[in-house]
Structure 1
Amino acid sequence: MKHILSTVALTLTVSTSSVQAGESLVPKPNIIIFYVDDLGWQDVQLNDHGTPCAFETPNIVKLAEAGMNFSQAYSPAPSCAPSRAGIITGQHPAQIKMTHVHLGRLEEGKKEDLYAPAYLGEHLSLDLLTLADAMNQNDYRTGHIGKWHVGFTAESYGFDVVNQTRGIQRGWDDRTKGFATADDAKFPLSKEKYPPFSEKKPEGISYPYDELTDAALQFMEESKEEPFFLNMCHWMVHWPVVTRNGELLEYYCDKMGQPFPPKPGAMSLPGQQNPYFAAMVTSVDWSLGRVVDFLSKTDDPRNPGKKLSETTYIFFSSDNGGAEAKGKEIMSDNFPLKGSKTKADEGGIRVPMVVTGPGVPKASQFDGLVNQLDYFPTILNLTDSTIASKNMKKLSGLDISPVLADASQKVTDANGKERSNLFWYFPHGSEDHFKSAIREGDYKLYNNYQKESYSLYRLYKNGELEDLEEVNDLADNPEYASVLERLKENLDTLMLEHDADGPYLNPNYSDKTDPSAKIKSAEFKQSNRKAKLTLDPSGPKLSKAYVIYQEDPSSAKKHKYKKIESGSLRADIGMPIPVKVSSDGYTAIASIPAGITAFCFMFVDENNYRTFSEVVEAK
């Protein structure tokens, strides 16, 4: 461990006390996951490398002063949905077949891409045990506030209380005006004043009403008589890049030497010079401050003499690396990290992470490898909770509670073996995105599927930064041949152990050398409700096939963000269902249930090409 120094004036009093290792901890502590959307590693004032962060995050810094900062923390994936699914199930996105946000989308490969994008089911499988399920089974009250984004609603996955509000993160026609006022009908400004302080506003500024933050505070107030688990997920700092807070925007315009209000159009200055994005980051920080302030001031009825801040763990992090830009708009800069959201480069998966709570040493830092997949087993241990052994075996992460208690300098598995690596799988997009990757010790290896190549970088050397920017590719350097082969082998092993699906070749690829299977027909017989896929017998045979039920083409109403209830919504729509392949390998037959009005086939042929049939009506 090493201690971290505060780089800004701290403005929030946090009363979380540090219980030394070996002392008894509180029974059934509360758990809060405070999850931010698209907040990059360099978007907060914790891990500055090079130019200090331009965005002010005093409450995040104060949180780190009260607990432990993790300098090498990673998200399960470089995009939103798989990271959220990974945290809530404790399973690697590759293992649960949710590796991106394009749920239920029948995506064909582009002619320039060797591999086709993976198909993802319409929603997270309802058969998976979630962290909410586990907490409920162990007498916790559970709440989800904010962004969900893994299909249906959080109620369908075990949460007692759900409010999926966007809060103040809502776009409007002209972001240069229309800011919140004191008597705003939807977003009235607070009477209380908060940072930042300036010559114009020496007493601080007001913030617009944020339903997301208030709903979280309400859940904690209503749940404090029993142990609670709060999954608080902001929509910020995701696109659109806007703010309702005119005073905060003006503060950053002044700080960055830009006019207020800004001129219409994209903010295109390089680096961290976008005042809208800066205001979003500080608004998230303000929200965190309100949560911690509530905990610090509220008595814990279950533990007389203590405040909730003394009996609550907070896990603060982001769902992936920073987005950096969208179109002509430059939001932020992940430098020195390479890449951004939707890439397995460091900039797409390395995230800020802080944990506070009973037993966590103040102002401490852990520099080992951690992943948000570690949350599930860690929370189980911190709360003395248990789940069935069959579910425990499926967890992909490791319990980091010994690290949090300052009792270990290493992350180890149940057998005491030290963690050696982490891996990612992102079978989507173009050649710069479609990759798997492994971080092992000082090194990072990429399997660049679309390029049919590998890249190897040495991020650290003897504990010091070496090539964090990932510019010196060592894959063709003979000196590192043994490292390359070891990491390739370990990555392949991890892919197999986690049952990663694919990747599959793209039948639309313009330069393919082997033939792909051709569909002769895809038809439906109403009399027996059988669907039949037939391939051209002159081409490759089927290797495996699935049927995917589709929404009624005549219905514009989608069900993916609704609560699943008995008799109201189907959980099988959009989910790939394996079907039997004939002995000759050229046909596949599926039974289509009553109530399903459309379907398509998806199959992989013996040359490893993945193909969709046309959507067929089942009427």
Structure 2
Amino acid sequence: MKKSKLLSFLATLLICSSMVVAKSKPNIIFVLVDDLGYADVGFNGSTYYETPIIDGLAKDGVVFENAYMYPTCSPSRTAIATGKQSFRTGVFTVPVLEQGNEQENVFSRWTVGTEHTMYSQPMAEVGYKSIHIGKWHLVGPYPLEELKMDFPIKEKLKQPDPWDFSWYDTHMKHAKPYYPEGRGYLKNVAGTYRGDPALEVDGYKNPTGGYFPPFSNPFLENKEGDEWLTDRLTDEAIEFMDEHEDGPFFINLHYYTVHRPIRGRSPEMVEKYLNKPGDPITGQGTQKGRQGERDAELATMIENLDYNMGRIIDFLEQKGLRDNTMILFTSDNGQNVGLNNNLRGKKGYIYEGGIRVPTFINWPGKMKPRRTKTPISGLDFFPTFMDLADIDYDGILDGDSITGLFKGEPKKLKKRPLFWHIASQNKHGACSVIRKDDYKLIQYLKDGALELYNLADDPKESKNLVSENPELTQKLLKELTNWRKVNKAQLPPESPLEF
């Protein structure tokens, strides 16, 4: 064979080989909604909010009835991105939400250091074309100063006013390793240090709230035809998938919706929900006055989210990509606005309303559609992505792949405990938690006080069973304290506990 023909043959072989690799790895769309509560969707019982597209995807996939995050976005998103527990990263809550002094807290980090690998990095190494769209919140406003501080940090971190862009030049010149492009993504759209979209003058008080254009986000260029932030972020996802349809692609679609400030998508939609009967079981849509108006505005944001999920599905079907695309849909914590009378607490609380989130995975033909009660955690997503991408990752991961739940109920996943460690205060005192089988034990770090709940019988966590069930309490407490000890989890200075 002549040299030119040999080179041509090898080149063709290489291209074909690349195409086979691309086809063998699934496309992944990871939809992370902000502050969407467990019951804010129809597939978890809401009759007030309208989510027919999302409900259909859930029905045809696997719904995780007991899917958990941290009570606030920073530790949830850090755990998801790194696959690591909070004591490894030092991110316990949103720093600006911390309450109390240096004796009561191990003050939280904000910036995730480069020593912590994110799932997007090994995925890029095996050929995934990835984009991050929407909320990032994995870097602080002053990362260079923050990372020079000794840990534990001795003071609560601060942030500038939303409309103060004095941080921008430093971020562009020196903080890129902490942004998506430094983490394996080809592009970052709208991801900043902020946890909400309201970068306009007056922040939450501004009529646009960051949801209506013109957008003041320096990482989101205004375009002709912009009407609503969630629509625009979906445009970006569709455009990227269109450019990389040969795959494999990974879409980190982390919507800002439904985080405050709450804005009605349109007056007509708000009016529709104001005139709609509320749900007496969850309490959604039953409030009066300004609270009732805000519930209606929130409902329009949820309906718009559903509309945009429909746009994504339509695109995938038109391009013939649906069967090779897995969709993971979840939220970063419980609801912040609105009601769910079926669960105790909301965003910021370690109770079920603050940490249990609506979650499903949809992948046509690759799963047995059903609802599973097996508990999972946001920590499980990193190892799941590695499993799907066939990556032999040897870094520290605190979760497990949940691909076994696509068609079965692995005993390993059903019987394992889930843990939380929150060493700083927000809505309540610093605490550690274990959830095992149907029980959840909370230990407060200030004085060792305990709460035990049977989540199967008492999802509202209304009855503390510590006195009634001392044997189980001590058994779970021993497992929790051993876990803390083995991992050398940090405790607030005032805590009398030993790990």
Cα deviation for residue 95 of structure 1 reads 2.2
Matched, 1:231 2:248: no
Once the two structures are superposed, the pairs formed by residues 439-588 of structure 1 within 5 Å of their partners are: 439-450=435-446, 452-460=448-456, 466-477=457-468, 480-505=469-494
Once the two structures are superposed, the pairs formed by residues 422-433 of structure 1 within 5 Å of their partners are: 422-429=418-425, 432-433=428-429
Highest relative contact order (Cα 8 Å, sep 6+), 1 or 2?
A: 2
Cα deviation for residue 148 of structure 1 reads 0.3
Cα deviation for residue 491 of structure 1 reads 1.1
Alpha-carbon separation, structure 2, partners of 1:224 and 1:168: 30
Cα deviation for residue 276 of structure 1 reads 0.9
Q: 1:411 to 1:385 in 2, by over 3 A?
A: farther
Matched, 1:164 2:196: no
Matched, 1:86 2:115: no
Q: 1:121 to 1:208 in 2, by over 3 A?
A: closer
Give 3-state SS (helix, strand or coil) of 2:95's partner: coil
The alignment of Structure 1 onto Structure 2 pairs a total of residues equal to 415
Alpha-carbon separation, structure 2, partners of 1:484 and 1:132: 39
Q: 1:253 to 1:386 in 2, by over 3 A?
A: same
Matched, 1:148 2:136: yes
Q: Which of 32, 38, 62 is 1:68 aligned to?
A: 62
Alpha-carbon separation, structure 1, partners of 2:303 and 2:447: 40
Letter in 2 for 1:409: E
Letter in 1 for 2:416: S
Alpha-carbon separation, structure 2, partners of 1:209 and 1:94: 33
1:300-339 Cα offsets, whole Å, 9 max, x none, are xxxxxxx21100111100001111xxxxxxx311221111
Match of residue 350 from structure 1: 356
Match of residue 267 from structure 1: 290
Q: Which of 277, 298, 316 is 2:329 aligned to?
A: 316
Q: 1:31 to 1:161 in 2, by over 3 A?
A: same
Moved over 6 A (4+): 178-181
Contact 2:77 2:138 in 1 (8 A): yes
1:499-546 Cα offsets, whole Å, 9 max, x none, are 42213228xxxxxxxxxxxxxxxxxxxxxxxxxxxxxxxxxxxxxxxx
Give 3-state SS (helix, strand or coil) of 2:238's partner: helix
Alpha-carbon separation, structure 1, partners of 2:81 and 2:206: 35
1:267-315 Cα offsets, whole Å, 9 max, x none, are 234xx971111111112222222112211211xxxxxxxx211001111
Normalised to the residue count of structure 1, the TM-score between the two structures is 0.62
Alpha-carbon separation, structure 2, partners of 1:495 and 1:59: 42
Once the two structures are superposed, the pairs formed by residues 217-366 of structure 1 within 5 Å of their partners are: 217-256=238-277, 267-269=290-292, 274-298=295-319, 307-323=320-336, 331-361=337-367, 363-366=369-372
Letter in 1 for 2:30: I
Higher strand content, 1 or 2: 1
Normalised to the residue count of structure 2, the TM-score between the two structures is 0.76
Letter in 2 for 1:164: A
Contact 1:187 1:209 in 2 (8 A): no
Structure 1: where are the runs of 5+ without partners? 1-24, 191-206, 258-264, 299-306, 324-330, 461-465, 507-606, 609-619
Matched, 1:368 2:357: no
Cα deviation for residue 383 of structure 1 reads 2.1
1:63-112 Cα offsets, whole Å, 9 max, x none, are 1122111111111x111011111111111222222111117x9x7835xx
1:330-355 Cα offsets, whole Å, 9 max, x none, are x3112211111111111111000010
1:95-139 Cα offsets, whole Å, 9 max, x none, are 222111117x9x7835xx9x5222233410111111110101111
Matched, 1:34 2:31: yes
Matched, 1:435 2:435: no
Alpha-carbon separation, structure 1, partners of 2:347 and 2:255: 17
Contact 1:295 1:308 in 2 (8 A): yes
The structure with more radius of gyration: 1
Higher helix content, 1 or 2: 2
- Identity fraction in percent: 31
Give 3-state SS (helix, strand or coil) of 2:291's partner: coil
Structure 2: where are the runs of 5+ without partners? 1-21, 140-177, 199-203, 215-221, 279-287
Give 3-state SS (helix, strand or coil) of 2:253's partner: strand
Give 3-state SS (helix, strand or coil) of 1:447's partner: strand
Q: Which of 88, 96, 99 is 1:95 aligned to?
A: 88
Q: 1:53 to 1:117 in 2, by over 3 A?
A: farther
